Amino acid sequence: MLNISTQDLRYTAIQFLEQSPPQRLQILKQLGIARYEFLTKICLNEANIICMIRFFQYPSQLKFPNLIGADLSGLILDEVNLIRGNLSGANLQSSSLVNADLLFANFTKADLINADLRGATLNETIWLGALVSKCKFGTGDGLTKLQRQDLQLRGAIFNN
């Protein structure tokens, strides 16, 4: 898909998002990025069109998920692997990321209100300006003491 114009990439992204989950998975397999199976669940909206353009632009060079500004709200993403994922400004409201692998993930200015991150691996994560009111962290595996205190002050819920 190299050398495709921005307009063609936009059209391709919209076409992808109009497909059923099994059809989307088949496309991801053809591109060699089926490890990002969660893309079969995202809805068709402007935020996700832009997100998919990034995935389709250089699929062979895709190492870590670039989900800047993506709309993942309300999705069940349990046990998903988003290691080194950039979720800056992403909407994760009411999403479930139970037991997700989020090592080195960047949640700068992401919306995690009412999200569920219980059991997620959170080592080296970034939380600058993230909205975490009523976000469930369980024990907060991998968070530093300072991160945990900061997140609690912003309304995050931890259980010991």
The domain limits of the chain are 1-60, 63-160
DSSP 109-121: T-B-TT-B-TT-B
108 or 4, higher pLDDT: 108
> Does the pLDDT of residue 105 top 90, yes or no?
yes
Determine the pLDDT at residue 2: 43
Percentage of the residues of the chain whose pLDDT score is greater than 90: 89
Q: Which residues contact 141 (CB under 8 A, 6 or more apart)?
A: 119, 120, 121, 122, 123
Provide the pLDDT for residue 5.
75
| Statement: residue 1 has pLDDT above 60 | no
Which tens digit of pLDDT belongs to each residue from 117-157?
A: 999 999 999 999 999 999 999 999 999 999 999 999 999 99
Per residue in 82-99, pLDDT tens?
999 999 999 999 999 999
% helix, strand, coil for the chain, step of 5: 35, 10, 55
User: Top-level CATH class of 63-160?
Assistant: mainly beta
* φ, ψ of residue 56 in degrees (nearest 5): -80, -20
Does 76 or 6 have the greater pLDDT score?
76
State yes or no: pLDDT of 110 exceeds 80.
yes
Helix ranges (DSSP H) in 32-143: 46-57
The predicted pLDDT at position 144 comes to 97
The helix (H) or strand (E) run that includes residue 73 is none
Task: Tell me the pLDDT tens digit for each residue of 20-72.
Answer: 999 999 999 999 899 999 999 999 999 999 999 999 988 877 889 999 999 99
| DSSP SS3 for 86 | strand
Give, in order, the Cα–Cα distances in Å from 116 to each of 12, 36, 54, 109.
32, 20, 26, 17
pTM higher than the cut 0.85? yes
